[in-house]
Chains A and B, each alone.
Chain A
């Protein structure tokens, strides 16, 4: 079965410091991986995706994610956090063998303190 795990409910980081939000996945075929961000009372917004190619994917707002096949991970990173990055972050995998169904992690709340 396909699944996505975000082991941390919450990540706290000081403004200006690097941040990492963790995600591991389980898929039977090649993974299509995504990160989305949700601000309070808003819908999810696409940040970045990995389908194939370079393991380091660059996305919106200075975020990037590193695909690691051996560790089945797709951690979200940013070199220097901003207070405005505080939000809920969701990792997702798309099952291309099952009608393109999306599986989402439970979400990680990122708190960036000034």
Chain B
């Protein structure tokens, strides 16, 4: 158990819909990262938050957004969903010792 909790584990939704993925980082970790893992693209960095503020942006679509709340949990919002958004979405958290801890991921299926 990495200490990072992601909910839900599985999500099936229709095209055009909006979903919210949730991540609770390890206790004390201020950094939260979101990644998308699709079959053909490996692991793609989406966005990072540090103590409530956006720190870095990767290949995140404009239809996607995220935030980190005062209690440090984070949410990734995906809207106007397309079939190609089907993927595993991972959250990770870290402190500054260089090691990141990953959640189990949320498997999103868009039908």
Contacts and interface: CB of A to CB of B under 8 A. Distances in A.
A90 B43 CA distance: 9
Dominant SS among interface residues on chain A: strand
B66 interface: no
Contacts of A103: 45
Contacts of A34: 98-100
B70 interface: no
Contacts of B55: 99-101
Given A90-B43, A107-B43, A43 B90 contact: yes
Nearest to B103: A43
Given A99-B56, A100-B94, A43 B102 contact: yes
A25 interface: no
Interface in B35-70: 35, 41-43, 45, 48, 50, 55-56, 58
Nearest to B9: A41
**How many residues of B sit at the interface, in one of the four size bands?**
20 to 34
Interface of A: 32, 34, 36, 41-46, 49, 51, 90, 94, 96, 98-107
24 contacts: A34-B100, A36-B102, A43-B90, A43-B102, A43-B104, A46-B99, A46-B101, A51-B98, A90-B42, A94-B98, A99-B48, A99-B56, A100-B55, A100-B94, A100-B96, A101-B33, A101-B55, A101-B56, A101-B58, A102-B45, A102-B92, A105-B42, A106-B41, A107-B42
Q: Which 4 A-B pairs have the closest CB atoms?
A: A106-B42, A43-B102, A44-B102, A104-B43
Interface of B: 2, 4, 6, 31, 33, 35, 41-43, 45, 48, 50, 55-56, 58, 90, 92, 94, 96, 98-105, 107
